[in-house]
Amino acid sequence: MKTLFRTAALSSVVLLSAATAAQAQQNNRFTISGYVRDGATGESLPGVAVVHPASGQGTTTNTYGFYSLTLAPSTDSVKLLVSALGYERLRLAQPAGRSFTRDFRLKASLAELAGVEVVGSREEKIAESTRMGTINVPVAQIKLLPALFGETDVLKVLQLLPGVQGGGEGSSGLYVRGGSPDQNLILLDGTPVYNASHLFGFFSVFNADAIKNVELIKGGFPARYGGRLSSVVDITMKEGNMQKLHGEGAIGIIASRLTLEGPIKKDTASFIFSARRTYIDILARPLIKANADGLVAGYYFYDLNGKLNWKVGARDRLYLSGYNGYDEFYANDETTKGEEYSKQKSSLGWGNRTAALRWNHIVNDRLFLNTHFTYTRYQFNVGIEQDDRFRENGQLRNEKFSLNYLSNIQDLSVKSDFDYVPNPNHYIRFGGQYIRHLFRPGALQTDGSSDPTQNRATGRRISADEASVYAEDDMKVTDRLKVNVGLRVNNFLVDKKLYPSIEPRLAARFLLTEEWALKAAYARTTQYVHLLTNSGVGLPTDLWVPATAKIKPQTAQQFSLGAARNLRFHDEDFELSLETYYKPMNNLIEFKEGADFVGTSDDGYENKITSGQGWAYGAELFLQKKTGKTTGWIGYTLSWSNRRFTELNQGLLFPYKYDRRHDFKLVVIHEFSPRLTLSGTFVYGTGQAVTLSQGRYALGPFDTFEDYGTRNSYRMAAYHRLDLDLSHTKKKRWGEVVNSFSVYNAYNRRNPYFIYLGRAADSNDLSYRQVSLFPILPSFSKTFRF
């Protein structure tokens, strides 16, 4: 660990030098600091602009709603403007001359809430921000868009953004800028979630009713984020209403949900609890029993979210949050004949469990501390139990056999982050994190009571330690040039093998005019975990495995260049951005030809995989309308994503399975009135790359040879789909009811899900046949709020 401490010391020296230089300019200055919160609920508001109009200086609140603004001495009173989209502006006049603390409570603006907005970084204009590839999607927007089976899904909405695509029909998986699903760092209240899907990938684990904010970062990663190559999805839960009890729920076709939040002690402590469960198994059980006597089968999933928020004092807050979600498929079959019987139980289950304890502390009016203790675990389990009683040679015998295959990954982590704002020209962040990883890539347990030789247990546990430190400064160099420069240092220790990594981060914005800006970014990233998969549908049997002495960590560099402009057309505001990127990746892994997860506990997964390289590059165009009765966006992506593995495809370059040349998204939301809203989404994408047999040769009377040619050389038909949603809100004395009618795949496009080799009913000739999953699907849901 010497390397870690040396680099940490170097980073500290650089940080302290920058802080000292900034502090030298602070003589006679004074600082205003505090929190900005929602006036009705007490929720902290991130990204709110706090501006001193007289000097043009300003800042924004951090993730936890804290702001700090240092100003030059003045004999006049201090006048501040506090503003955020969707809220009424606040103005403050305060005598100048000394530092003071001031909290703000913003009231919702009915005029501004008439339009739902998508914002790059909330109130900061897109041309002013240094950040690239970052989009914030309000939960209100997510709830208005069409949903499969009426189930609102956070990750499916992110798929509608440029540079992001799903893995297949109805899937909630994310493939960002040519990357794979394991290359996305998905955070729930700062805690990683390793498998974010339900129902084999058709739904995500996030209940939108319990979520406050969703942010996607797909390029120009700030130094405070690490551990993944392609994206960060930062999801923040609500804190709980500090003023009054509030509830929200919905009844849909396949699931229902309920959220309750309110004060434990007004203005001091609050809670939020949310639950969701499907009832597919309950509805289908009578039908299964009627058609298969003795068989009980079903599938369900559930989510539970909870959070406690305690204002300990003026400078301290404590948060305790947790999530538990699980999917289970089960099939129990029993036949009985007199004293003899046969019982069989089969199950497939997987789920996540997370817990987080967070402490916010205001060290002083310019320094904010967030300390985070987290636990996360993902596990899947495949189980079979057989219990037979039968007669053999006149004797009644009993035999039992069980098999369990399981895999899990769990992390324990502690992290401290500091926000330091010496003056409006510098926003410094620094901190560190330690993670204890525990992996169980595959464990097989069998038990056969009548034959002791069948009883065995295999699989080993792998532990690893990861430590990181970082520092970054978002600095205003001149009125036109703004730069975010950062450094992240990681160390990963596994099986006595140390993998150090130094990751520089840089993002810059140069204003050509007040409305036009050029942007550039560079980031080096390292990933110490891999996802082993030989399917594209997000099966829970995909294995999370660590880098080892034999398997190096994944690494990538991303270069981004773009332009952004704020537009005003017919008194309507628009934002336009164009980004290009180039991302080379190393040490990617795949199963060798013919290998899969079965038996990894016996032979070791390290012997079944091969390493290779990847390249992703492209351009993204994004035009969004943020306010007014009609809102939405248009996104277009032109991209390439290729792979090369020495032991696959004869070492030749081949397109990644989710390489998509053209990708177009259109999202429109129109509010006819405060009670009636129509929304629609249209997507179009180049067909998925697959490998098909190009010929079949007979090697003998009972043997054939399949010639598959080049890997992923065939393209399925293009994918396109239109979804619609009409929502009507009805006011009640106790609250309101929202009735939503959605249509998925409105013009019944038969999109390809997979292709297989088979025969038509009236022919013996073999041909490739397409399987489509979802035709036109109407759905209805009823949401209530009080």
pLDDT tens-digit series, residues 333-390:
888 887 888 888 888 888 999 999 999 999 998 999 999 999 999 988 888 888 888 8
Residue 694 has phi, psi (to 5 degrees) of: -100, -10
Residue 537: predicted pLDDT: 43
pLDDT of 78 over the 90 cut: no
pLDDT of residue 703: 67
Q: Could you say which DSSP state residue 602 is in?
A: H
73's CB contacts (< 8 A; 6+ apart) are 28, 29, 30, 96, 97
Single-letter amino acid code for the residue at 571: D
User: Computed over its alpha carbons, how large is the radius of gyration of the chain?
Assistant: 28
Kindly report, as residue ranges, where domains of CATH 2.60.40.1120 are found in the chain: 29-113
Strands (E), 107-201: 134-136, 164-165, 175-176, 184-188, 191-192, 197-198
Taking residues 544-557, report their average pLDDT. Answer: 91
Q: Taking 90 as the threshold, does the pLDDT of residue 522 lie above it?
A: yes
The span from the CA of 693 to the CA of 712, in Å, is 11
CATH 2.40.170.20 segments of the chain: 134-686+717-785
Element (H, E) at 154: helix 154-158
DSSP 605: G
pLDDT over 90 (residue 667)? yes
Can you give the pLDDT at residue 264? Answer: 94
pLDDT value of position 5? 43
pLDDT tens digits, one per residue of 507-520: 999 998 888 899 99
Q: DSSP labels for 677-730?
A: EEEEEEEEEPPPEE----EEEESSSS-EEEE--STT-EEPPPEEEEEEEEEEEE
**What's the one-letter identity of residue 253?**
I
Q: What are phi and psi of 103, to 5 degrees?
A: -95, 145
Of 256, 271, 231, whose CA–CA distance to 152 is shortest?
Answer: 256
Amino acid at 179: G
Tokens of 311: 């204002």
Confidence band of 112 (pLDDT split at 50, 70, 90):
very low
Residues 191, 598: Cα–Cα separation, whole Å: 30
- Whether 504 has a pLDDT exceeding 80, the answer reads yes
Which range scores top for mean pLDDT: 127-131, 164-168, 276-280, 355-359?
355-359
pLDDT digits (tens, 9 = 90+) for 687-730: 888 888 776 666 666 666 666 778 888 888 899 999 999 999 99
Residue 170 in this model has a pLDDT that exceeds 90: no
More confident residue, 359 or 648: 359
Confidence of residue 733 (pLDDT cuts 50, 70, 90): confident
Query: What does the alpha-carbon distance between residue 329 and residue 539 come to, in Å, rounded to a whole number?
Result: 13
Pairwise CA distance, residues 467 & 490, whole Å: 6
Mean pLDDT of the chain: 83
Model confidence at 458, pLDDT cuts 50, 70, 90, reads low
Please give the residue that has the higher pLDDT: either 534 or 452: 534
pLDDT score of 254 more than 90: no
If we measure between CA atoms, which residue out of 57, 58, 71, 67 comes closest to residue 37? 67
pLDDT at 124: 56
pLDDT tens digits, 586-618: 999 888 876 665 554 444 677 888 899 999 999
More confident residue, 17 or 416: 416
Q: Which residues contact 746 (CB under 8 A, 6 or more apart)?
A: 722, 723, 724, 776
Higher pLDDT, 607 or 655: 655
Asked whether the predicted pLDDT for residue 536 surpasses 60, the reply is no
Mean pLDDT, residues 253-262 taken together: 89
CATH number of 29-113: 2.60.40.1120
**DSSP 8-class letter at 210:** G
- Across 365-514, the runs of DSSP E, i.e. the strands, are 367-392, 395-423, 426-448, 456-458, 462-476, 481-494, 497-511
Residue 201 Rama label (left phi>0; alpha psi -120 to 50; beta): left
The CATH number of the domain covering residues in 134-686+717-785: 2.40.170.20
Give the phi and the psi of residue 22 in degrees, each rounded to 5.
-70, -40
pLDDT for 604 equals 67
Report the pLDDT averaged over residues 556-573. 86
Each residue of 201-252: pLDDT tens digit? 778 888 888 898 889 999 889 999 999 999 999 999 999 898 899 999 888 8
**Cβ neighbours, 10 Å, residue 298:** 18
Confidence check: pLDDT of 398 > 90: no
Say what the pLDDT of residue 181 is.
86
According to DSSP, the β-strands at 184-188 and 231-237 are parallel
pLDDT top residue among 403 and 638: 638
Tokens encoding 786:
């009080």
**Is 187 in contact with 195 (CB distance < 8 Å)?**
no
